[in-house]
Amino acid sequence: MSLFKLSPYSLIEKKGKEPIVAITAYDYVSARLAEDAGFDFILIGDSANMVILGEPDTYSIGMEEMLLFCKVVSRGATNTLRIGDMPFLSYQVSKEEAILNAGRFVKEGRCHGVKVEGGEEVAETVSAIVKAGIPVLGHIGLTPQRSMELGGLKVQGKTIESAQKLLNDAMVLEEAGVFGLIIECVPSELSKVITEKIKIPTIGIGAGPYTDGQILVFHDVVGLYPEMRPKFVRTYFRGYEAFKKALKEFIEDCKNKNFPLEKESFKISEKVLKQIKNSVKC
């Protein structure tokens, strides 16, 4: 395995040459599947709080939970670039704390970089983490860790002020040293302008076809999170229905005495069986 493939900076080389495709993962199985499928990178997203832990948003997940997900994904996808998502309040309090927490993603979570949500307001923190030697992926547009402030999970950049702010945020983050930028829920034409303006790759989620790459949440792609189906998601498999059908068939087979069959059971020798039956009679 080339060490460069596992460097987040390898993604910059792909800009303008080939689309970058990423997915989230949170556990050993989703990580193995993502690696076998051949994604360019895996994001251990704080969306874990919703799709794995069942919370309604991403606010309440902490460092310890995120690190556990990162450790497990790192075991399942040893040869794939892995980026850990810094949870709410792990990088906002001070630059020192942000560096220490980002370092834990590398040292304990075995990630190759971290993701931080926000624009100009996090630029100094981003720069401090990068200077400490930890690659950072930016995230602008709909930033779920600011959904209370944004008034919900809404498309961003529709007004001139908001569009101008997103363009400025992208440029400031590039200057601060991010190796790439996630753009979430932003009109296609605006992500195109941003993508053309900056030299680092843009990875879209609900940001249209003109970004340098795309990312989706694992559970959305395989249809395992029926609670929410945003317009920008394409679901490739009806996972929830397929799993439910399999589980119901298992119940039915047991109830109908159709499971387990002899071929799914273990055998004992006639001799041992006879002896044990005799010992029961005594």
Establish whether the linkage from the previous residue to 226 is cis, with ω within 30° of 0.
no
Q: How far is the CB of 137 from ligand KIV (least distance, A)?
A: 9
Give 231 or 274: the residue with its C-beta nearer to ligand KIV: 231
Give 209 or 260: the residue with its C-beta nearer to ligand KIV: 209
Distance between CA atoms of residues 51 and 217, nearest Å: 9
Q: Which residues bind ligand KIV (CB under 6 A)?
A: 24, 43, 45-47, 85, 182, 205, 215, 217
Distance between CA atoms of residues 184 and 178, nearest Å: 16
Alpha helices in the chain (DSSP H): 28-37, 48-51, 63-76, 95-107, 123-131, 147-150, 160-176, 188-197, 218-221, 239-255, 270-281
245 burial level (CB within 10 Å; 0-12, 13-18, 19+):
exposed
**Catalytic annotation on 161?**
no
Q: How far is the CB of 165 from ligand KIV (least distance, A)?
A: 19
Q: How far is the CB of 13 from ligand KIV (least distance, A)?
A: 21
Q: How far is the CB of 251 from ligand KIV (least distance, A)?
A: 33
Describe the chain by its helix, strand, coil percentages, rounded to 5: 45, 15, 40
Distance between CA atoms of residues 62 and 104, nearest Å: 13
Give 26 or 174: the residue with its C-beta nearer to ligand KIV: 26
Q: How far is the CB of 218 from ligand KIV (least distance, A)?
A: 9
180 forms beta bridges with 137
Among 184, 189, 249, 262, the one annotated catalytic: 184
Give 190 or 215: the residue with its C-beta nearer to ligand KIV: 215
Distance between CA atoms of residues 208 and 187, nearest Å: 7
Beta carbons within 10 angstroms of residue 150's beta carbon = 16
User: Which residue of the chain is nearest ligand KIV when measured via CB?
Assistant: 45
Give 152 or 262: the residue with its C-beta nearer to ligand KIV: 152
Catalytic residue numbers read: 184
